[in-house]
Amino acid sequence: MTVNEITVSVGGSRELDRAGLAALIASLPGLRVVPIDKNPPPQVLVWITSRDTDQYPSVQTDTAILLLTEGAAYESLPETITGLLSRDESPAALGIAIRQVSRGEQYLSPSLVPAILQKRQAKSGLTDSETSIINTLTEREREILEYLAQGLSNKLIASRLYLSVRTVEGHLANIYLRLGVHSRTEAMLMAVRIR
């Protein structure tokens, strides 16, 4: 039996927010809260944004950054930020998001998807080559792509299909490869265009 705890730090401008979030994260299984300046650096930095500041954390090479947001300013995010978690999400979703970004994957709260898609004007048709690529996807991959278009997290997709999260991640890696995309957001955009 192995216990691989994920080290997490919490940052942001408001001390009370930081303390509350740190206590919540510490209560979740498999996560350990560490100081932000710890050496080695934490695996995940959860950064709380607020309306009155646009400050983002300074980059630490090996640290995945998860932004806790109210949905604003996502278009101006630095590339170092790998996850966007809405403040409307449940504590359980916070745990899932932390685990996902700690593995080097991206996380996007389902509730933020509509706004992102609207801003990017995703509703354009598929090209012929894109259509032929879509046709090569397996039934399971299409199913997962459909859930991706709905903005579901990997955990929720896995729950719906009664598959492990690792299996869904494997399917997503294949989907990205076949579609020639490099991120979850790009795959989501294409998935919405397919629908």
Three-state DSSP state, 82: strand
Dihedral over Cα of 92, 185, 139, 126: its sign: positive
Q: How far apart are the first and last CA of the chain?
A: 43
| 79: exposed, middle or buried (Cβ count in 10 Å: 0-12, 13-18, 19+) | exposed
95 binds other proteins (CB under 8 A): yes
Task: Report the alpha-carbon distance of residue 79 to residue 48 in Å, rounded.
Answer: 17
With contacts defined by CB under 8 A, name the span among 15-23, 116-124, 165-173, 185-193 that binds other proteins: 165-173
Q: How far apart are CA 3 and CA 22, in angstroms?
A: 20
How far is the C-alpha of 134 from the C-alpha of 132, rounded, in Å?
5
Q: Under the criterion CB under 8 A, does residue 173 sit at the interface with other proteins?
A: no
48 binds other proteins (CB under 8 A): no
Which residues have CB under 8 Å from 167's CB, separation 6+?
Answer: 158
Candidates 32-40, 50-58, 75-83, 86-94 — which segment interacts with other proteins by CB under 8 A? 86-94
Of 66 and 134, which has the nearer Cβ to other proteins?
66
Answer yes or no whether residue 106 interacts with other proteins by CB under 8 A. no
Residue from 15, 16, 29, 39 binding other proteins (CB under 8 A): 29
Enter the tokens of residue 169.
């991640």
Q: Least CB distance from residue 127 to other proteins, whole Å?
A: 34
| Shortest CB 166 distance to other proteins, Å | 6
- Binding other proteins (rule: CB under 8 A), the pick from 60, 150, 167, 174 is 167
Minimum distance of other proteins from residue 193's CB (angstroms): 29
Is residue 92 near other proteins by the rule CB under 8 A? yes
Question: Which stretch in 12-20, 34-42, 155-163, 178-186 sits in contact with other proteins by CB under 8 A?
Answer: 155-163
Residues 116 and 74 sit within 8 Å (Cβ to Cβ): yes
Binding site for other proteins (CB under 8 A): 1, 3, 28-30, 91-92, 94-96, 99, 154-155, 158-159, 162-167
